[in-house]
Every structure is written in structure tokens, then in C-alpha cells.
Structure 1
Amino acid sequence: MGEFSRGGPTRRRILASGAAAAGLGLIGSRPAFAAVDWKRHAGTTLEVNLIKGPRGDLLQRHAAEFTALTGIKVSSEVIPEQQQRQKIVIELTSGRPSFDVVHLSYHVQKRQFDKAGWLADLSGFIKDPNLTDSALREADFSSAGLQYAKTPNGEMRSLPMSVDYFILYWNKELFQKKNVAFPETFDDMMRAAETLTDPKAGTYGFVGRGLRNANMALWGAFFLAYGGRFLDDKGNLLIDGPEAVEATKLYQRLLTKTAPPGVVGFNWMESMAAFTQGRAAMWLDGVGWAPPLEDPNASRVVGKVGYAVVPKGPKDHAAATYGDGIGVAAASTKKEAAYLYCQWAVSKLMGGRLLQIGGGVPFRDSILNDAEVQQGVKMPREWLDSVIGSAKISKLGLPVVVPVAEFRDIVGSAVTATLSGADPATELKKAAEQYRPILERSEKA
């Protein structure tokens, strides 16, 4: 990270900030849960597989409350993300998973799970008033959440739990010093970034992910703004068309003309370090990285940060969206009990807690818009407004395909090459030619 590591947020500091926030209780009363027969499976024991992080930790920490509500005991395993993804695929492929409930990363695993049929269809459970609280309705989830959770034929194979929207973080003090207006469009953002770049002062107009693979999240935000679609209605790849080329040109220009030295090696951590040290005027990344920016032990920009919905693109106004959900293993013999756990995991109580500690954003609009929940949010109001605004324009930031890792590697390499001067159109064409047969083989398998 070079000079941008001094005084910046370390992983230890970020984890400490999350632990401190986790001690905050949800302001307001608990949801009624009155109409549901929560005790119908009392005495059952569920095996739950969770991803290590704010969401998984929150569910594990409050599992005793679910047991008190239902009489169902919970044995949960919380595993770091990469290892968890590998473990659950191996177990689900075997047909004999050790868990009844599974936490999944939609942006990586959605298509793989749908194609394999690994999750139980929850559609009937949701319609059963003895199993589902009346407040839990499909219409309460954002459009991106439903797109993630549902199969093409309309089956609800999981419940959307937490969403990560890309938002624009901006340093108000740096903007004010040069009398630069907040950018309403991507063109405005480019001009503002150039104006705010001052290498002699050690400040730059923009910072974002330049590292291969990780850069696909940022590139996807630009691609959507230019009206891009990853696949057409027949599943054909669309990453080398004019929308992709123009999006890559913007990415190339921002990161080569207005970003800190060494940005080609930046993931979210390095980008955050530059921003929290006051060396970058704008940073486009996930909304969940906000808490450390307001932590005086990890940030030099406390009280100076603005939070906003991404600017409008030339053809669309879209918030690149990523997320996770929770579902019931199709092989489980305890599907109803497991569904009760999933419902509790996405309830107002748990979703409100998640939002208030800054550990994630619930997919449910009723939680986001609840005044009582909002009162307990410790982040600035601008942050919450950016979350609510992003929910209205959310679009998936990665293609829904099985070989997502290969997509991120191949297209990510092409985009990274442009930071060394390579031509965007040429690189994207080569990437498309390399990735198309991989995609086709995965669909035929």
C-alpha cells in the first residue's frame, strides 16, 4: 500500500469497530410474530452454515433468541467466506450436506445453486399464514433481491438477507477547498476528479479498485451506467459492445489520470486507506465500508465524509448491487423448521440490528423505511439516504452465471491492462473470445 497505509484503517481496526458497534441494541420494540405458530417444531435441532462476517456473526450471537421464540435449537458453524463457499459446494454436490440452513453469496453462487437444485423451494411456505408472518411479503424485497432469490420459473429458493450497493463517498472538505460542486452525472464526476487532483499536495480526485478480479465490482458500476447488459435474453455474452468499451474508457481515464500511484494494485482495503487519510476526494465502493470512515481511531476524515447515490450515467442511473441470502438445503429433512430460522434471519428485528451496526443493509424496504429502525442508525443520515436511494435503482453488478470467478479473472485482466495503456476495445474483444466458450460449456454441463 506504500504511503497510503500510514494511519489508515487496518483489518484489526475495522474488526474492532464492528465489534464495538455490535454492542448496540435495536431501538424500538420487537416484531410481533403473533400469527405464526413458531412452536410447531419445538425440540428440533437445526444445523446452520454461515459466512464469517457481520451477518453471520449477528445471527450466531442472537441464536438463543430464536430458540426462545421457537423451541428449536441451533448449532451454527461460521466459516470465512472463501472456505465456506468451497465447503458447501462439496457437501451439496454429495447430496448429503451436514447443514439444514445455508448462507450463500448471490453474486457468486446464484446461478450455480439454481442450476443444481440445491435449495428447497420456499414459495409454498411464504404463502402459509401459519408459517409466515403477514409482514413478510415478496413485494417488500427490492427488485434486485427478488432477482437473486427467484429462479427463472418463479420459485423462491432463498430469502434475500443483506445487500451491498455501490455508493459514492466524497470528501466535503476537499470539494470546498476548490469550490467544486457535487457531481450529478458521470461526466461531472470525471471533471471534478481532474480538478481535485493535485499530486504536489498528495491528493487525488478519485480512488477505486484497480486490482484484477476485484476491479470487476467497480467496472460493473460503470458498465451499468452506460446501459450495459452482461447477457442478452438468450444468454449470449455482451461485454465487448460499445457500452462496455465506453465504460472501460471512463474507468481507464479515472484511474490513470486522477487516482493515487499504485492504484493498479488496489482492492477495497487500499482504496479505503487512501480515502480515510484524506488523500482521495471520491471513492466509489460498497455501502458496507462506511463505519470505519466515522471511527476516529481509523480515519482522518471523520465528519468530512459525504455519502451519495452514484451519479447518473450517460444511459442509465443504476446502483451496482451485490448481496447474500439464506436458504434451506433441498436435502434437509427439517425444511419447515429451517424455513422458520430463515424467516427470523430476515425479520425486522434482525435486519434492523444489521442496519444499525452498519454491518449490512437488509433487502426489505419496510425495514429501511421504518422510522423507529432509522432512529437507531449510528451512521450519518446521508449514509442512510444513500442506501434508501440506491434500493430504488439497484441492478445486479455481476452476470448471473456459474463461472463467475472466471468472468472476474478474465475480464478483470482486460480492464487492468488498460491501466497500462492497452486499448479498451481490443482488450475486451480478447476477453470475450476467451470467456465465451467457458460460459457455453458451463451451461451445457
Structure 2
Amino acid sequence: MFRPRATPAAATAAVALALSGCAGAGAVGGGEGEQIVVAIVSNPQMQDAISLQDEFRAEHPGVDVRFVSLPENEARAKITASVATGGGEFDVVMISNYETPMWAENGWIENLQPYIDETEGYDADDFVPSVREALSYDGDMYSVPFYGESSFLAYRADLFEEAGLEMPEHPTWDDVRELAAELNAPEDDFSGICLRGLAGWGEVMAPMTTAINTFGGGWFDEDWNATLDSPETREAVETYIDTVQQYGQPGAATSGFGDCLTRFAQGQSAMWYDATSMVSTVEDPASSTVAGKVGYAPAPVADTESAGWLYSWSLAVPSTSEHKDAAWDFVSWMTDKDYLRLVGEEIGWERVPPGSRLSTYEIPEYAEVSQAYADATLESMNGATQESAMTHPVPYPGIQFVGIPEFQDLGTRVGQQMSAAIAGQVTIDEAIAQSQRYADTVAETYRAQEEQ
């Protein structure tokens, strides 16, 4: 497998993104002692971790944790800029299986395997195998999962039953469009489906790329030719954009994961295709009006066996940290089996971070509340491979992302084009043409490397 290294140009691009996207950081902390700074994404599960900090302080009174919590796009840019340039602001960073192998190769993050091996009862073998492998480099784990996810299609089973509709066992994008059309009721502020439209490589481009894959398209072919203007990619983009424009939520171009989560959980959409981690909120009666009313189906397909992605929000320790032992104390606490039980007992079993540890699904209380989605989650994660989700080989790792350093910038730029097309600010043809030019520039570098 081709292993990309982060280039100075890629790091510079990441810094440029961060300078425009790091406003709004919030620090939370307390107590005295060795202070560590933790940069995380402000998703619901991460906010739960902040709310449980008294438990961590009770176990580690000598460690004072301060959080910088940011929306997903801003967090990516801020964390990348800091780690890539050796800024040293953070002792723990929340990254993913996109960054982990590249940053490990570059020496930007610590090898956590020695810490794992020396921590009694931590049990790294309990991690979901596909996630553990995705967060490893040369056989060692360089980040550990807070939660893991694939993607699936959530739908209002109660409304389907009322309307006499049936969700296919393996829905296609054509099925999704027909069902969305049946249930769409914009006059009641109710959409047939919710899909991300917010610009960003980890926002609109995550679900859209799975559509591109299953239609037979892609970002690059095996010879590093950009293929964003191929007929297959074009059909996927047109299908995705037309679906959300015709049957999706109002203001779709500014809807990210969080917006769709709120909308679906408050009963304003009939379907939602997105990350399996949604279940922690969707099935929580305290924050969702549709808990217990939702069914889950595999990611919609066209020409492939499956279409789900594989992703993990994970915790890593930058090599520049001066508090590595204290950082591991926090990382191991937040990713241990005991933490998952703590969330269940203190906040609710519906809120347990899913998809990281196999043992989670053996906890009786969790098994009871997750019976509607546990199997669907694990099946989606286990089936998320390039071989099953793509029609042809590609020269890079990743399913819903391209595992090269330049993708943060490239994916962001293409995401801006697609979001603009969803908003009607540019035509789909214009968005595709500009995206192809962006991808061509990146492809030239990799073709040149292959020729050397």
C-alpha cells in the first residue's frame, strides 16, 4: 500500500485553514496540579466526557485537565496546524483514522503501544478489530478509539408503517429517493430525508463520497488521474444533490452532522443517512422525541455490495507534549471499559460511545437499549472495506476520505463547491469542473512521484 507522507505544502495549507477556523475555543477545567490541555470535537459524546471530569479528578487528583472544544471543521484545522508545526499547545488531541497512520509515520504523535502494554486491564484486544487496525502503524497503536462508526440509513419505522411503506433490506439510492418523495412534507417543515450539505471534507464530502464510490466513481484512479468529472462520479453527485434539494431539509447547504442530528431527533425528517454514532442521541429519550421509533438499514448502494464508511474519533498524544504520562492517564481513562460503564450508569446507556469496544455489546443494560441498532452498527463497521464499497481499486487508503495529507485542503475546497451547488449558487457542472481542477493539481504530484 502506498504510504503518503505529509509534505511542507500540505502542512502549510492546514495552517492556513486553522488561522481562519480556530475562533470560538472554549476552555473547561479546574483544580490544581500538572495541567494538560485536551483538544476535542464538540460532539455530544465528547461533551459527556467533559461533564464527567469530577470522576477523572477523583482518580487522578494530580492532573488538571483543560479542554478546548470546537466544532468539527474548526477542530480539525486547529489540531492539524498545532501538531504539524510542533506548536505544542495540546497534550491530547482528538484525531481519526485519517490522520493517525500519516502522523505516526511523520513522528508527530507518540507510539501508545508501550503505554497500552503497561496499563493493567486496558485490553486493547477488546477494540473492534477494524478500528484497531485503522489506528495502528507498523503494528502499534498510535491513537486509541473513543468511539468508532460506519454509516447507515436511519428511518422513522412508525411513519413507514403508517404510510404502508417498507424499507428494503439493502436500499439503493433510487429506493431512498422514492421513499423520501413519499414522505416529504415541506409545508409541515418535515423533510423526506436529511443529508449533510455543510462544506468540509468531514462534512458533506463524507456521505457524498460513499455515494460516489457506490456509483463507480472516485477521486483518483489507480494511476493517479483525477476522476471527479467522470460520468460515474457525475451521476452520484447529481443524485445526492438532487435528492437533498428535492426532498431534504431547508438550508441543507449549512447542515452538518449536528444539524441533521437535531432535526432527525426532533422528528423533522423521515430518514437520515449518516454516521452510526448518531444512535447515542437518537435513542436517548432525554434528548430525542423519536427514541424507540427508528429503524436502521445499511448505507444506500448503487453498484456495490455495501457503501458504509469506517471512521473513529480517537485520542492521541502529540510528540511535543511535555506531560505524556499525565496525558496517557487521561486518554486511558476516557477509552477504558470502565468509562463506558460510567457513562451508562451516570448519564444513560443510550449515551455510551458506540463502536469502540466489543465488550460494550455484552453489557446487559447496553444490549437491551441497543437491540434496534447494535447488530446494524457492527455489521456496517465490519463490512466497511474498499473491496465491498468501491467498484475498482484505488491507490490510497480510506473509503469516505482519501488518505493523503493534501486531502484536508482538497476535500475542503471540493466540499465548498458541492455545498455551493446544493445552495444553488453554482451549477453542478461548474462545481464538478472546479473540483476536477483542484484534484488534477494534487494528482500531478503523485503521478510525478510514481514516475521517479
TM norm structure 1: 0.72
- Distance in 2 of aligned mates of 1:155 and 1:237: 33
CA distance 1:279–1:91, change in 2 (3 Å):
closer
Deviation at 1:181, TM superposition (A): 0.8
Matched AA of 1:431: S
Matched AA of 1:399: V
Q: Assess if the C-alpha contact under 8 Å between 1:47 and 1:76 holds in 2.
A: yes
- Distance in 1 of aligned mates of 2:240 and 2:433: 17
1:133 has 2:125 as partner: no
- Distance in 2 of aligned mates of 1:305 and 1:398: 28
Q: Secondary structure at the match of 2:311?
A: strand
CA distance 1:92–1:277, change in 2 (3 Å):
closer
Q: Assess if the C-alpha contact under 8 Å between 1:163 and 1:363 holds in 2.
A: yes
1:220 has 2:209 as partner: yes
Moved more, 75-84 or 298-307: 298-307
* Aligned counterpart in structure 2 of residue 97 of structure 1, from 88, 91, 96: 88
CA distance 1:290–1:226, change in 2 (3 Å):
same
Partner in structure 2 of residue 401 of structure 1:
404
Q: How does 1:230-241 map to 2 (within 5 A)?
A: 230-231=219-220, 237-241=226-230
CA distance 1:237–1:141, change in 2 (3 Å):
farther
Q: What percentage of aligned pairs have identical amino acids? A: 22
Deviation at 1:120, TM superposition (A): 1.3
Deviation at 1:182, TM superposition (A): 0.7
Q: Secondary structure at the match of 2:242?
A: helix
Partner in structure 2 of residue 205 of structure 1:
192
Q: Assess if the C-alpha contact under 8 Å between 2:147 and 2:314 holds in 1.
A: yes
Q: Secondary structure at the match of 1:161?
A: strand
Matched AA of 1:409: T
1:369 has 2:372 as partner: no
Q: Assess if the C-alpha contact under 8 Å between 1:125 and 1:132 holds in 2.
A: no
* Aligned counterpart in structure 2 of residue 346 of structure 1, from 310, 316, 335: 335
CA distance 1:255–1:135, change in 2 (3 Å):
same
Q: Assess if the C-alpha contact under 8 Å between 2:284 and 2:351 holds in 1.
A: no
Partner in structure 1 of residue 392 of structure 2:
none
CA distance 1:191–1:136, change in 2 (3 Å):
same
Q: How does 1:68-87 map to 2 (within 5 A)?
A: 73-81=62-70, 85=76
Q: Could you say what the CA RMSD is over the residues aligned between the two structures, in angstroms?
A: 4.0
TM norm structure 2: 0.71
Partner in structure 1 of residue 6 of structure 2:
none
* CA distances 1:80-111 after superposition (whole Å, capped 9, x unpaired): 22565555455545646255x41223267447
- Distance in 1 of aligned mates of 2:238 and 2:368: 41
Partner in structure 2 of residue 410 of structure 1:
413
- Distance in 1 of aligned mates of 2:295 and 2:374: 11
Q: Secondary structure at the match of 2:153?
A: strand
Q: How does 1:30-429 map to 2 (within 5 A)?
A: 45=34, 47-51=36-40, 52-60=42-50, 62=52, 73-81=62-70, 85=76, 88-89=79-80, 91-93=82-84, 95=86, 97-99=88-90, 101-106=91-96, 109-110=99-100, 113-114=103-104, 116-126=106-116, 128=117, 130-131=118-119, 133=121, 135-137=123-125, 140-147=127-134, 149-151=135-137, 153-183=138-168, 184-186=170-172, 187-198=174-185, 203-213=190-200, 214-226=203-215, 229-231=218-220, 237-272=226-261, 274-276=263-265, 278-290=267-279, 292-293=281-282, 300-332=289-321, 335=324, 338-354=327-343, 357-359=349-351, 361-372=353-364, 374-375=366-367, 377=369, 381-394=371-384, 396-416=399-419, 418-419=421-422, 420=424, 424=428, 427-429=431-433
Deviation at 1:404, TM superposition (A): 4.1
1:437 has 2:425 as partner: no
Q: Which runs of 5+ in 1 are unaligned?
A: 1-43
CA distance 1:253–1:80, change in 2 (3 Å):
same
* CA distances 1:350-399 after superposition (whole Å, capped 9, x unpaired): 2344575545634434234323352474xx53133332332222354222
Q: Assess if the C-alpha contact under 8 Å between 2:110 and 2:317 holds in 1.
A: yes
- Distance in 2 of aligned mates of 1:204 and 1:58: 29
Deviation at 1:178, TM superposition (A): 2.5
CA distance 1:166–1:76, change in 2 (3 Å):
same
- Distance in 2 of aligned mates of 1:374 and 1:296: 15
Partner in structure 1 of residue 17 of structure 2:
none
Q: Secondary structure at the match of 1:331?
A: coil
Matched AA of 1:383: Y
Matched AA of 2:414: V
Q: Assess if the C-alpha contact under 8 Å between 2:35 and 2:66 holds in 1.
A: no
- Distance in 2 of aligned mates of 1:269 and 1:398: 19
* CA distances 1:238-292 after superposition (whole Å, capped 9, x unpaired): 4444442232132033123322454344334543455345443211123344455
* CA distances 1:135-169 after superposition (whole Å, capped 9, x unpaired): 322x733424532x234x44432112222433222
* CA distances 1:313-366 after superposition (whole Å, capped 9, x unpaired): 421313223332112232346545644543333211123445755456344342
Moved more, 318-327 or 353-362: 353-362
- Distance in 2 of aligned mates of 1:164 and 1:125: 25
